[in-house]
Amino acid sequence: MRRCIDLALKGSGHAAPNPMVGAVLVHEGIIIGEGYHHHWGGPHAEVNCVNSVPPELQELIPRSTLYVSLEPCAHHGKTPPCADLVVSQNIPEVVIGCIDAFSKVAGKGIEKLRNAGINVTLGVLESECRHLNRRFFTFHEQQRPYVILKWAQSADGYIAPANREPVRISNPFADRLVHRWRTEEAGIMVGTQTALLDNPRLTARLWPGKSPVRIVLDLQDKVPGSHYVKDGSVRTLILTSTEIDTAQPLVPQVLAQLHRESVLSVIVEGGAVLLQQFISGGHWDEARIITGQTALGGGLSAPVLKNARMLESNHIAGDRIDIFVPAEH
């Protein structure tokens, strides 16, 4: 199952809005085939796994065990049901990491397998398998995107200088990491003042992969058409007073809108006002804070997390990268 998870991760940034899934076929302790879901619309992990078995070993498939990180699907989507494939291949034993959360699938794949007389084992490395697809599970179970908050703060805790001139806080290596993070999420969001003052592109230029959908709060149509976020280079949702009722709390409306737009996850990259609203409503799943090595001596204070627990802390060329999750997780 650990190998399934490693394989599944190769689909990171490409599988969404589908889950990342890995599968391995084992005959008497030896892997004879493996596969993963490479990209949305493409063959599922189970199909790639079965197809990877070399011709001379195919006769072993009906005497092998299939390990798969997520319940095989039972419905006709872009591809035929994987549960049918498992049955037609006469695979006698299937070990599953976790149950699918997608209502068209949940439990139905397992039922199909069991009805065909296949021996099914459930819940192997379940929490690791659910963590792997935490974006997918959050989206389907809570009808909202998975929310990652991200900011860079100076050594003395500011995210912008007093004059609001854009300044470098993180080093070029941390910047690459941030661009990698962007390729892993479906959406990226900023507040009005950040879009106006920093004129960010919000694309993944320093890491290979897809750029996320840009989401820009612009309730009063302040961001000029000449700014990068309005250059049309990447799909962009500009949230105006048409989408947002300013008399109501902002963040729940944003999350509902992103759910409607099938945006599975969003990385919120500032500024302080927007981030603090996500924090105060408890609308976040991860916070990633980069602390640079230079001090600004004053300016716009970094947001303050509440009810947070540190998950990990690393250094990258001198900058500190801290990852937090809500305390109850």
Ligand X SMILES: NC(=O)c1ccc[n+]([C@@H]2O[C@H](COP(=O)([O-])OP(=O)(O)OC[C@H]3O[C@@H](n4cnc5c(N)ncnc54)[C@H](OP(=O)(O)O)[C@@H]3O)[C@@H](O)[C@H]2O)c1
- Residue 218 beta carbon to ligand X: minimum distance, rounded to whole angstroms: 8
Q: Strand (E) positions, 196-318?
A: 213-217, 236-239, 265-268, 286-291, 300-301, 308-316
The Cα–Cα gap between 101 and 211 comes to 26
Instruction: Determine which residue in the list 169, 223, 255, 308 makes contact with ligand X, applying CB under 6 A.
Output: 169
Contact status: 69 vs ligand X (CB under 6 A): no
In DSSP terms, which residues pair with 148 in a beta bridge? 267, 286
Which residue carries 């976040």 as its tokens? 284
In DSSP terms, which residues pair with 158 in a beta bridge? 301
- CB nearer ligand X, residue 47 or residue 273: 273
Token pair for residue 84? 């049918």
- Residue 39 and residue 11 in contact, taking contact as beta carbons nearer than 8 Å: yes
**Phi and psi angles of residue 140, each rounded to the nearest 5 degrees, phi first:** -80, -35
- Pick the piece of the chain touching ligand X (CB under 6 A) from 32-40, 119-127, 273-281, 317-325: 273-281
- CB nearer ligand X, residue 51 or residue 313: 313
- Residue 322 beta carbon to ligand X: minimum distance, rounded to whole angstroms: 13
In DSSP terms, which residues pair with 310 in a beta bridge? 324
The Cα–Cα gap between 44 and 18 comes to 10
Contact status: 159 vs ligand X (CB under 6 A): yes
Contact status: 19 vs ligand X (CB under 6 A): no
Q: At what angle do helices 272-280 and 250-260 cross, to 10 degrees?
A: 90
Instruction: Determine which residue in the list 86, 98, 258, 274 makes contact with ligand X, applying CB under 6 A.
Output: 274
In DSSP terms, which residues pair with 30 in a beta bridge? 27
- Residue 284 beta carbon to ligand X: minimum distance, rounded to whole angstroms: 14
- CB nearer ligand X, residue 43 or residue 270: 270
The residue of the chain with the least Cβ separation from ligand X equals 271
Contact status: 155 vs ligand X (CB under 6 A): no
Instruction: Determine which residue in the list 219, 234, 238, 323 makes contact with ligand X, applying CB under 6 A.
Output: 219
233-262: which residues touch ligand X (CB under 6 A)? 250
114-153: which residues touch ligand X (CB under 6 A)? 151-152
- Please state whether beta strands 93-98 and 119-122 pair in parallel, antiparallel, or not at all (unpaired): parallel
The Cα–Cα gap between 302 and 209 comes to 29
- CB nearer ligand X, residue 129 or residue 216: 216
Q: Which residues of the shown chain bind ligand X in the complex (CB under 6 A)? A: 151-152, 159-160, 164, 166, 169, 190-194, 197-198, 217, 219-220, 222, 250, 269-274, 277, 300
